[in-house]
């Protein structure tokens, strides 16, 4: 499982070098064969292809996530606001009770 998997070596045939017979009036020259151009390596990873249906599903899923997160954040904000208002009302009621007890003396 942890041993590396090496790709198989390329089995493409190499280009044969042209053999030319030297003539009497021309010196014998040999031209080296051009080096084979390296080909782009192929990847074994799967390619993600987006179809119109999958794109629509991604957009719909993203919209749903944004709406759910928005609803949660708005609910938390409302909970904080309601708690603040209720604490303020309690403070006003307690203050009026304390003031009424001091006026009676």
CA dist 88 and 80 (Å) reads 12
Number of residues assigned to the chain: 105
With CA atoms as reference, report the closest residue to 35 among 53, 65, 15.
15
Quick check: 34 and 15 in contact, CB under 8 A?
A: yes
- Positive or negative CA dihedral for 61, 65, 68, 70? negative
Residue 41 DSSP one-character state: P
Average pLDDT over residues 87-92: 97
Q: What is the pLDDT of residues 2-24, one digit of tens each?
A: 888 877 777 766 666 666 665 66
Residue 103 reports pLDDT greater than 80: no
In Å, how far from its chain's centre is CA 30?
Answer: 54
Percent of the chain with pLDDT over 90: 44
Quick check: 15 and 36 in contact, CB under 8 A?
A: yes
Lowest mean pLDDT among 16-30, 35-49, 55-69: 16-30
């Amino acid at each position: 499982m942890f041993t590396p998997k090496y790709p198989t070596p390329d089995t493409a045939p190499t280009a044969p070098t042209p053999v030319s017979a030297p003539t009497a009036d021309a010196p014998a020259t040999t031209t080296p064969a051009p080096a084979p151009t390296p080909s782009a390596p192929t990847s074994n990873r799967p390619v993600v292809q987006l179809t119109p249906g999958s794109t629509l599903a991604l957009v719909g899923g993203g919209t749903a996530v944004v709406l759910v997160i928005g609803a949660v954040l708005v609910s938390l904000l409302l909970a904080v606001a309601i708690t603040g208002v209720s604490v303020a009302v309690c403070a006003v009621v307690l203050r009026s009770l304390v003031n009424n007890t001091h006026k009676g003396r």
